[in-house]
Homo-oligomer: A and B are copies of this chain.
């Protein structure tokens, strides 16, 4: 059976703000950790500091992640946490990914 082409494909519903590899990783780790420190995130995701900073800026601008810079003693530390909007966006991404992978037919 040929699918109706006008029905659209679930991949068209993916949002690159959330779908992009590093940003998806950031949101997934924050969903499990609640709050995470910058250095932990960078190590966990195998990202350079510059790369992580760049992706956090995109997520912060979209209102999906909150950035909290604090001093602990003399050392500045950056804490990241997910906003309710971030949680909703990740939930939608995961639902769409499930629809995509469940539909893949690979002999």
- Chain B residues with Cβ below 8 Å from A45 are 9, 11-12
Interface range on chain A (Cβ under 8 Å from partner): 35 or more
Number of copies: 2
**What's the minimum C-beta distance from A6 to chain B, rounded to whole angstroms?**
7
A46 touches B9 (CB 8 A): yes
- In the bound complex, do residue A11 and residue B24 qualify as a contact, i.e. CB atoms below 8 Å apart? yes
Q: Is the CB of A44 within 8 A of B3?
A: yes
The answer to whether A19 touches B21 (Cβ under 8 A) is yes
Mark A residues whose CB is within 8 Å of B: 2-3, 5-6, 8-9, 11-12, 14, 16, 19-22, 24-25, 28-29, 31-33, 40, 43-46, 87, 90-91, 94, 97-98, 100-101, 103-106
The 7 lowest CB-CB distance pairs between A and B, nearest first, are A11-B25, A5-B43, A12-B46, A14-B21, A5-B44, A94-B101, A9-B25
